[in-house]
Amino acid sequence: MKIDWEKLIAAARRARRNAYAPYSRYTVGAAALAKSGEIYTGCNVENAAYPSAMCAERVAIYKGASAGERAFVALAVVTSNLGSPCGACRQVLSEFAADDAAIVLALARGKRRKKFSMKQILPDRFGPKNLK
């Protein structure tokens, strides 16, 4: 599948505008491209009870999963400083993404980007195959 990174990153930038981050002020937007071609977006949502917060990447993946998606081929994450997905987000993405799924980190403003594969961002991951 050909990935339109400009479209995916633009969707993540739009999602970032909706972030609710009154405590950290660190806003994140994500856009997950499902194998079906649909794009699902998410933003981080903080909470005064900090552990109840949710990262943008997981919001996007969960939106897709709740719509019936079970395979994602790409994820764009937009932050102010190329922040990388946390461990929990990497694990959730790994549930639905193959080793060659692409993850791109992009700046909210500017063109600088970093690109990884699922295998690079979470090597030797624990997943559904380990439970068979």
Q: What is the pLDDT of residues 47-58, one digit of tens each?
A: 999 999 999 999
Domain ranges of the chain: 5-131
Contact in structure between 11 and 39 (CB atoms under 8 Å): yes
Q: Compute the chain's Rg from CA coordinates.
A: 14
Q: Which of 75, 77, 11 has its CA nearest to residue 44?
A: 77
Contact in structure between 114 and 105 (CB atoms under 8 Å): yes
CATH of domain 5-131: 3.40.140.10
Three-state DSSP state, 125: coil
Identify which has the larger pLDDT, 89 or 129: 89
Overall average pLDDT of the 81-103 stretch: 97
Q: What's the predicted TM-score (pTM) here?
A: 0.96
Tell me which of 6, 38, 46, 57 is the catalytic residue: 57
Say whether 57 is catalytic. Answer: yes
Q: Give dist(CA 88, CA 59) in Å, integer.
A: 12
